[in-house]
Structure 1
Amino acid sequence: MLNIETLVFNPFQENTYIVYTGNKECAIVDPGMLFPQEEEMLEDRINSLGLTPKLLLQTHLHVDHVLGAAFVANKWGIGPMAHEGDDFLVGQAKTMAAGFGMDLKENPPAPVKHLKEGDIVELGDVKFEVIHLPGHSPGGIAFYAKNEKVLLVGDVLFKGSIGRSDLPGGNQHELIDAIRNKLLVLPDDVKVYSGHGPVTTIGEEKKTNPFLQ
């Protein structure tokens, strides 16, 4: 059984996910907490659910998705897992945050493990396959739990939209190719959890997303 809790953090309204299984182990996906009260919210939710954080998973390393990575790494002793294509963003996070008027005390921790296409990440009895989806950022990845029909996709695909491709390392052709060839081939009833905004499904985006018609 797979459960997903969504917390919305920081001025970018970023979705931070707590993903957990029946054994009460959890993964924290894209921690975006900027303020102490947001850190408290995450910690309180994890404690109230009786969970033990085991994994820190990053769909990509844009600043709004890594603001809380240092807190998670320090609090629970788990380092980020991400694609090496986004490593160049780690050292820029503090400067990028300042450009948006956000005070990030330190750059986020560098990934302790690099994930690539086809890797399997296990959480309890759930297996997530890593799908590499460049275009929004070079190292964008999704986590796909095939049996549970769940896809954590970061900022590649949204309800009715797609990720922007005008940031460093972005490429719109790559992005649309990745979505078409790797995501739209998944079953229609797969639930899509994006980095911002509501949950959608592969079938809904196939039918109605104006960028994919």
Structure 2
Amino acid sequence: MDFRILPVTPFQQNCTLFWCTKTRHAAIIDPGGDIETIDAAIRELSLTPERILLTHGHIDHVGATAEVAQRYDIPIIGPHADDAFLIEGLAFQSQMFGFPSVTGFRPDRWLQQGDEVEVGEIRLEVLHCPGHTPGHVVFFNREAQIAQVGDVLFQGSIGRTDFPRGNHADLIASIRQRLFPLGDDVRFVPGHGPMSTLGAERRSNPFVRD
């Protein structure tokens, strides 16, 4: 598989394209906005969008979801159903964070711990990692040793837990019990900022280091 990170919205949220190099079928992960930026990358890379994958329900990660799904006629997969209240409250999120009005949607499939999602001929494992939001999920490709972790973990930091239904203890448990066991060599794409490895964060991240 291969991937490209596309920072979108004024929050510079990392929308990510994951694709199967054999079929060129792609997942669009967290299309928060700037749909023309996303579309330009898809055309440049000659990809066929196959599905939208959502890590969680915050507007900077899902704001353009309905428009992207309609443009490419593809299903919306994820996050976990515990984030339904956030997706149902997108109009309120738009006002709270100063985003333009967005079109509402309902995922075609909610995800749970242990689920798998196929993109072309690659397989992404689903890890339910609550804390930043109760329904946050992570997508992991074991073969490539890469994960899209959304706002669970960052280079040198962790996700905020002061939003509605955030939980700091749950977030720390998600990182230590579900992410770190994947292995030190696993690279991850965070929801914002630069990539890192799980090993680097386990050794040096002040919030979750050994």
TM-score, with length taken from structure 1: 0.94
Contact 1:94 1:103 survives alignment (8 Å): no
Aligned residues: 207
Task: Give me the whole-angstrom Cα distance separating, in 1, the residues matched to 2:125 and 2:174.
Answer: 15
Letter in 1 for 2:25: E
Shift of 1:44: 1.2
Contact 2:64 2:102 survives alignment (8 Å): no
1:137 maps to: 133
1:95 maps to: 92
Letter in 2 for 1:17: T
Q: Secondary structure at the match of 1:185?
A: helix
Shift of 1:98: 1.5
Shift of 1:94: 1.7
Shift of 1:65: 0.5
In the alignment, structure 2 segments of 5+ residues that lack a partner are: none
Cα deviation code 1:170-211 (max 9, x no counterpart): 100010011101111111110111100000001100111000
**Identity value in percent:** 40
Shift of 1:93: 1.0
Q: Secondary structure at the match of 1:111?
A: coil
Shift of 1:73: 0.8
2:15 maps to: 16
Task: Give me the whole-angstrom Cα distance separating, in 1, the residues matched to 2:75 and 2:83.
Answer: 15
After TM superposition, the runs of 4+ consecutive aligned structure 1 residues lying more than 4 A away are: none
In the alignment, structure 1 segments of 5+ residues that lack a partner are: none
2:101 maps to: 104
Alignment of 1:62-73 (within 5 A): 62-73=58-69
Cα deviation code 1:43-83 (max 9, x no counterpart): 11101111110010000011110111011111011232111
Letter in 1 for 2:86: L
Task: Give me the whole-angstrom Cα distance separating, in 1, the residues matched to 2:46 and 2:10.
Answer: 28
Shift of 1:106: 2.5
Letter in 1 for 2:94: A
After superposition, the CA RMSD in angstroms is: 1.0
Contact 2:67 2:103 survives alignment (8 Å): no
Is 2:82 the partner of 1:85? Answer: yes
1:193 maps to: 189
Q: Secondary structure at the match of 2:89?
A: helix
